[in-house]
Amino acid sequence: MWFKNLYFFAFTRPFEWSEQDIETQLSEHLFTPCASTEQSHFGWVNALGKHGDTIVHGVNKNFLLCARKEEKILPAPVIKDQLEAKIAAHEVEHSRSATKKEKEQFKEDIIFELLPRAFSRVTDTHAYINPEHNIIVINTGSRGKAEDFLALLRKALGTLPVTSVSPEKAPDEIMTDWVSGTELGDNFNLGMEAEFNALGDDGAVVRVKNQDLASDEIKAHLDADKYVVKLALEWDDAISFILCDDLAIKRLKFFDVLQEQNDDIDSDDIIAKLDADFSLMAGEINRLIDDLLAEFSVKTQDYLES
């Protein structure tokens, strides 16, 4: 239940769907396993997995969702070898080169033949919506998977007016300022890890780990006009994470002092434990995002259309 990587988006119109409304709409797009000749399938499953029986699980104004994707794994070298063999046989039989259209058809036929024997990879992506904070938070380290999740939700609801948060001053500039000595807010401390890029498409990339970011070595990188694209931060003595220049949050770690707050809940009451952990986690993430965006002089509510 504890999220590990985050992409978050702001709504451009107030999210006014009730928990039951969301449940009804998403129930029309449930996950079903791939048929033998299907390459992938994407749909909704119970938010709490085997421990729940609803697509949407609401706790403290946070709506938890889970999307499941099944993909058939077809190794590219296998397809390539079979395609080359089929093209060669065609050229021998017809005494001419295969056309582009024929090659595309050969590839489609090969994939169709291989799909029933292919292994499947199944992945779940959790997210939650908090209308009060005007955000949707997706537990993934891939922007592509975050966009896929939003597309599936948009398909189910019919509309999903969301946008990325884009401060006026670029995040890489602000992160570089922090490492250069600009004071962070009271709840934040610099960690000991960062990634720097030099200007230009072929510029150098420097990654440092377990390094004092106030050291002369780091200052030398800054003096060489390198800028920060990833930065380790700690927040409120409760969470550590890597902040990226697109405001993605990677390697999110909740400190023991936070997770231990729910240790007194009966471990046999699984639903109560899941609810308590989700409520605690979402509450902390919501505060973290608010505090983080304040460092960039922006709020998620700023994106609501007037």
Question: Which residue's entry shows tokens 């023991």?
Answer: 256
Average pLDDT, the chain: 93
What local confidence, expressed as pLDDT, does residue 59 receive? 95
pLDDT in tens, 72-86: 888 888 889 888 888
- Indicate whether 111 pLDDT > 60: yes
Dihedral angle sign, alpha carbons of residues 131, 148, 231, 235: positive
Is 80 exceeded by the pLDDT of residue 172? yes
Checking if the pLDDT of 190 tops 70, the result is yes
Could you give the CA distance from residue 173 to residue 297 in angstroms, rounded to a whole number?
Answer: 13
**What's the helix, strand, coil split of the chain in %, to 5?**
40, 25, 35
Helices then strands, each counted (H, E), the chain? 8, 12
Give bridge partners of residue 129 from the DSSP assignment.
Answer: 63, 136
Can you give the C-alpha Rg of the chain in angstroms? 24
Q: Give percent of the chain with pLDDT exceeding 90.
A: 71
Contact 283, 41 (CB under 8 A): no
Instruction: Please answer whether residues 146 and 140 qualify as being in contact, where contact means their C-beta atoms are separated by less than 8 angstroms.
Output: yes
CB 202 within 8 A of CB 217: no
Element (H, E) at 143: helix 143-157
Q: To 5 degrees, how large is the angle CA 164–CA 251–CA 301?
A: 25
187 vs 293: CA distance, rounded Å: 12
Which tokens in the block code for residue 196? 């720097």
What's the whole-number mean pLDDT along residues 98-110?
A: 88
Q: Fill in the amino acid letter for 204.
A: A
| Structure confidence at residue 306 as a pLDDT band (50, 70, 90) | low
What is the rounded average pLDDT of the residues 130-156? 97
254-295 pLDDT, tens digit per residue, is: 999 888 888 888 877 889 989 999 999 999 999 999 999 999
Write out 73-121 in H/E/C secondary structure.
ECCHHHHHHHHHHHHHHHHHHHCCCCCHHHHHHHHHHHHHHHHHHCEEE
User: What pLDDT sits at residue 269?
Assistant: 85
pLDDT at 260: 85
Report the distance separating Cα 172 and Cα 16, nearest Å.
Answer: 34
> What is the mean pLDDT of the segment spanning 81-104?
88
Predicted local distance difference test score (pLDDT) of residue 125: 98
CA 137, CA 6: separation in Å to the nearest integer?
Answer: 6
The enclosing H or E element of 144 equals: helix 143-157
E-state strands within the chain: 6-11, 40-44, 57-59, 62-73, 119-130, 135-139, 162-163, 188-197, 205-209, 227-235, 239-244, 249-254
Question: How far apart, in whole angstroms, are the C-alpha atoms of residue 140 and residue 2?
Answer: 12
C-alpha 262 chain-centroid distance: 26
pLDDT at residue 225 tops 70? yes
Say yes or no to pLDDT of 201 above 80.
no
Q: State which amino acid sits at residue 283.
A: G
Helix-helix angle 76-94:100-114, to 10 degrees:
130
Mean pLDDT lowest for which of 113-117, 172-176, 243-247?
113-117
